[in-house]
Amino acid sequence: MIGLTKDTRLIENALNYVIEVYRELSAENGAPTAGTQNQAVEFILADAERSRSVAEWARRAPTDEATTAPPQRLPYDATYRQVAGFLRRAMETSGFERKYRD
Cα 40 → chain centroid: 6
Single-letter amino acid, residue 55: A
Mean pLDDT on 70-80: 88
pLDDT by residue (tens digit) across 27-46?
888 888 899 999 999 999 99
What does the pLDDT read at residue 55? 96
Which of the two residues, 62 and 92, has the higher pLDDT score? 92
Contacts of 56 (CB under 8 A, 6+ apart): none
Which of the two residues, 27 and 87, has the higher pLDDT score? 87
